[in-house]
Homo-oligomer: A and B are copies of this chain.
Amino acid sequence: MDVVEMAARVKAASLQLQGVSSQIKAGALLSIAEAINRNRKIIKEANAEDIICSEKEEIAAPLLKRLRFDDRKIDAVLDGIKSLAGFDDPVGRTLLATHLDEGLELYKVTCPIGVIGIIFESRPDALVQISALCLKSGNGVLLKGGAEAALTNRVLAGIIVSASEEAGIPHGWLQLLETRGDVAEMLKLDAYIDLIIPRGSNEFVKYIMNNSNIPVLGHAAGICHCFVDKSADIAMAVSITVDSKTQYVAVCNALETLLVHRDIAARFMPAVKSALDEKGVELVGCPETQALIGVKPAAEEDWGTEYLDYKLSIRVVSDVGEAIDHINKYGSHHTDAIVTADPENAARFLEYVDSADVFVNASTRFSDGYVFGLGAEVGISTSKIHARGPVGLEGLVIYKYKLLGNGHIIDDYAKKKKTFEHKPLKKEFSL
């Protein structure tokens, strides 16, 4: 089956999936969890083969670690699916109800988007999580995982498809793409695919965004900032900086640039340097930073670089306004934090920093769908439309307007025989 045929099948299934009940979807998720549990052995065997291949190809250790799908990770995935099954259905919620006129009622009701194309990295747990989110939100899905996890993904997709279809999910709703060439094909299929969510490197996401007419949701980079205001508690600022930078350096919500108010710099800088030195973080800074703690100079491009490593750039600024300007100029609109004891500066930071996630006195590492209570996430979006920040179930639905009349025609309103009343209705859609 070629990619066009696969996409057409998912599209056809997605039209049926629109009307599948909450009960059937929740039941299908539990069936998937059971089937994965039952097939642990086969899954782990496939994963072992993937790992052997990857070791032969001398793949980097962190990638190998993410590829490994052991009992601990399977347990976590099963917990995730079961918890998702219990979530409220995001489909069929009435967002707005209006009495337009006697016998004429308008309802804005959530519904699935349709077909989602998702390209993700080597973690096999991502395949399960993404499939479960798409099923729960009633969307068909075309999946493309990392080549390293090909065998594990094939086994997992097979299990998910057969368990869900037996439980009443329309045939063909999930298709697994296998090659890089398939991805290039997929980007052209705007007739079948409504949204693409790419997860991966900066260059890869940019390539997707520049090569498709299909809307793309995601983030190319996570250039996250922390601004230490003059009123900051120094111990808190050090703790948040260290956590944001070093708790996990290879993730998009890790800190890349530290901005420090001039009035606190002389006291804060030595403290944060000593804490970061302990973690082995390389520091580069502006001339004032260099003068205070003797680090190497930061080049202009450092301010726009996502290191994803034990490296941090530091700049002294004169106030919260200059910090905001720096972030809006060099940042990637992902996650930015202020450490301050001043509510006015906190308010200004939250209002004017143009990022998906803006934090006061908390680590940038909190920006995550699970942490936010969304259950899980398909990714983090820095887009300015549809969904921003961690994207969970709500980002996978849209709405339609349903109008119920009894023979109403517009000509009666054009001729002023009738007029609109536009009164809010306090009720859920029903026929």
Binding site for B on A (CB under 8 A): 15-16, 18-19, 98, 100, 104, 106, 113-114, 194-195, 209-210, 213, 215, 217, 233, 236, 239-240, 242-243, 247, 328, 343, 346-348, 350-352, 354-363, 365-367, 371-373, 383-386, 388-390, 398-411, 413-414, 420, 422, 431
Contact = CB atoms under 8 A, between A and B. Distances in A.
A190 to B, nearest CB: 9
A30 to B, nearest CB: 22
Nearest to A385: B386
Majority secondary structure, A binding face: mixed
A194 B384 CA distance: 6
Nearest to A235: B407
B113 A247 contact: no
Contacts of A401: 356-358, 367, 372, 388-390
A347 B239 contact: no
A113 B354 CA distance: 9
A217 B398 CA distance: 14
B388 A399 contact: yes
Contact of A431 (B16, B247, B347, B385): B347
Q: Which 3 A-B pairs have the closest CB atoms?
A: A362-B405, A243-B409, A365-B410
Nearest to A430: B347
Contact of A420 (B98, B373, B399): B373
A431 B104 contact: no
Contact of A408 (B19, B362, B367): B362
Given A215-B385, A346-B431, A366-B405, 5 more contacts: A18-B352, A210-B213, A247-B409, A362-B408, A386-B386
A197 to B, nearest CB: 11
B210 A354 contact: no
B411 A398 contact: no
A343 B385 contact: no
Given A215-B383, A389-B401, A410 B343 contact: no
A194 B352 contact: no
A385 B388 contact: no
Nearest to A354: B15
B360 A404 contact: yes
A358 B431 CA distance: 13
A408 B358 contact: no
A408 B361 contact: yes
